[in-house]
Structure 1
Amino acid sequence: MKLTRRLAMLAAAWTLAAAPALAADKPVTVFAAASLKNALDEVGAVYAAKTGGEARFSYAGSAAIARQIEQGAPADVYISADSDWMDYLAGKKLIVAASRRDLLTNHLALIAPTDAKTTLKVAKGMPLAKALGEGRLAVAGPDVPAGKYAKASLTMLGVWDSVSGKLARAENVRAALQFVARGESPYGIVYDTDAKVEPRVRIVGLLPDTSHPPIIYPAALVAGAKNLQAAAFLSFLSGPEAGVVFKKYGFTVLPRR
């Protein structure tokens, strides 16, 4: 009887001791803006090699993944392509405010298929509508950060009104990239980091950074996340190893505050 009770107590003690380790062994679930895919996939590989931990990524438009988190999707870390959607989740107390940090910035690019012959130059009043002809300008949807940045930039350049009726709206910036890569749109606006990983497109020119709000990629822990690795992975994103990868893909790493 005493032996049985002792074994039961030992089993209970082992379960309590092992529980944190078991939780820590679970992959970190990261919901991230689609434009981060190539860089984050590599960051995840570096993280696994260095720590033995694992991160799994779900990529989509920042708005889409924010709404998924709002509806209870089991994410541990959220990375947006603008501050607005992070603010949206913060307003609903769905992120850990103290964990929030600005990771990266980026640039907008006007792109065309690689084999397209174009002499269009990015400038105020550029004849973009004329250059499109019967085609459409590929851009991310109006709720997606890349789409909002594109509208702000084209408005400042004085060409939005002439092209607003000739848009091919995509669910995220990578989908807009594919419209151009497949030759379905003669021009598109994406981040220059997207264009650099797609050999079927080329950058016609960069849109002025002053023509749109600053492009910021904030990251934060999702409120209620129980994965013990989540905070460690978030910290890793701000570290030197991740920084090397982000720079490799053309992102500008922001200094950690």
Structure 2
Amino acid sequence: MRPALLAAALSLTALPAWAEDVSVFAAASLKNALDEVAAQFIADTGNTVTISYAGSNALAKQIIEGAPADLFISANVEWVDEVEKAGLVQTRDDILGNRLVLIAHGDAQPVTMGSDTDLAGLLDGGKLAMALVESVPAGKYGKAALENLGLWDGVQADVAQSDNVRAALALVATGEAPFGIVYATDAAAEDDVTIVGEFPADSYPAIIYPAALLAGAADDADRAFYDALSGDAADAIFEKHGFSVKD
């Protein structure tokens, strides 16, 4: 082989394989932490990760209706169950946990959350920001907690419902609602809100985030990112953002 052709051949063999793209549908509450996990994966592998964030209910419905996604990470088990019933899950694993908190705009006095909490009095005519209470996991958890504490009937008319938990967080951060119910990790991601109370763990179902590798996932990168979600590096990032990591 002539030197010029040999050099060209060596150059071609040195080229890296084509990068693969991983398409992820993820609960809105994961944004800060999952963006960081994805950035580390991209740096380590050279693959790309495209993440669509929304309420778990909306994402599950899109997947069932045929939206192209390789992974789905929900803020509750039920919406992954629905996707699995549609025959669209290859494998799944519970990866994270979270806590439910009451937040206020700016600085506010702490509140002990219990059956004798005067939440309606705290609102004083203002709104209680929550994600959609019948479909979005954060809203469902929040409604369950309020019902179990006997507080729901007193505040139901004052609830301002949002499409996802980050939208509810934004209502409080901007002062449009004086109080809201979100995950602890959401509150930690926003400087303009204060956690004023934490709901008793036994007042709502355990908050579990399952990750699912979907039926359309065909690339090695898809499986690699799914596995990376439970790796040591991702665990450290999730814990830094306030999530609990499942064994």
TM-superposed CA distance for 1:119, in Å, is 5.1
CA contact (8 A) 1:120 1:128 kept: no
TM-superposed CA distance for 1:24, in Å, is 6.5
- Write the distance in 2 (CA, Å) between the matches of 1:64 and 1:190: 18
Q: How does 1:57-72 map to 2 (within 5 A)?
A: 57-72=51-66
String of CA shifts for 1:31-58, please: whole Å, max 9, x gaps.
0000000000000111112222221110
Q: Counterpart in 2 of 1:130?
A: 121
Q: Counterpart in 2 of 1:182?
A: 174
- Write the distance in 1 (CA, Å) between the matches of 2:71 and 2:110: 43
- Write the distance in 1 (CA, Å) between the matches of 2:33 and 2:142: 22
CA contact (8 A) 1:24 1:228 kept: no
TM-superposed CA distance for 1:224, in Å, is 2.3
TM-superposed CA distance for 1:79, in Å, is 0.3
Q: Counterpart in 2 of 1:107?
A: 99
With 217-226 and 81-90 compared, the bigger mean Cα shift is at 217-226
TM-superposed CA distance for 1:125, in Å, is 2.4
Q: Counterpart in 2 of 1:38?
A: 32
Q: Do structure 1's residue 245 and structure 2's residue 206 form an aligned pair? A: no
Q: Counterpart in 2 of 1:11?
A: none
Between structures 1 and 2, the one with greater strand share: 2
- Give the structure-2-normalised TM-score: 0.90
With 23-32 and 244-253 compared, the bigger mean Cα shift is at 23-32
TM-superposed CA distance for 1:227, in Å, is 2.8
Matching residue within 89, 98, 102 for 1:95: 89
Q: Do structure 1's residue 149 and structure 2's residue 141 form an aligned pair? A: yes
Q: Residues 22 and 129 (structure 1 numbering): CA distance in 2 closer, same or farther, change over 3 Å? A: farther
In the alignment, residue 201 of structure 1 is paired with which amino acid?
Answer: V
Over the residues paired in the alignment, what is the CA RMSD in angstroms? 1.6
Q: Counterpart in 1 of 2:74?
A: 80
Structure 2 SS opposite 1:155:
helix
Q: Residues 41 and 130 (structure 1 numbering): CA distance in 2 closer, same or farther, change over 3 Å? A: same
- Write the distance in 2 (CA, Å) between the matches of 1:55 and 1:102: 21
Q: How does 1:223-234 map to 2 (within 5 A)?
A: 223-234=215-226
In the alignment, residue 38 of structure 1 is paired with which amino acid?
Answer: N
Q: Residues 84 and 205 (structure 1 numbering): CA distance in 2 closer, same or farther, change over 3 Å? A: same
Q: Residues 168 and 178 (structure 1 numbering): CA distance in 2 closer, same or farther, change over 3 Å? A: same
CA contact (8 A) 1:83 1:216 kept: yes
With 120-129 and 32-41 compared, the bigger mean Cα shift is at 120-129
CA contact (8 A) 1:139 1:173 kept: yes
TM-superposed CA distance for 1:171, in Å, is 0.2
Q: Do structure 1's residue 54 and structure 2's residue 48 form an aligned pair? A: yes
Structure 1 SS opposite 2:32:
helix
Mark the runs of 5 or more structure 2 residues left unpaired by the alignment.
Answer: 1-14
- Give the structure-1-normalised TM-score: 0.87
Structure 1 SS opposite 2:216:
coil
Structure 1 SS opposite 2:72:
strand
Structure 2 SS opposite 1:229:
helix
- Write the distance in 2 (CA, Å) between the matches of 1:24 and 1:56: 16
CA contact (8 A) 1:113 1:187 kept: yes
Q: How does 1:165-176 map to 2 (within 5 A)?
A: 165-176=157-168
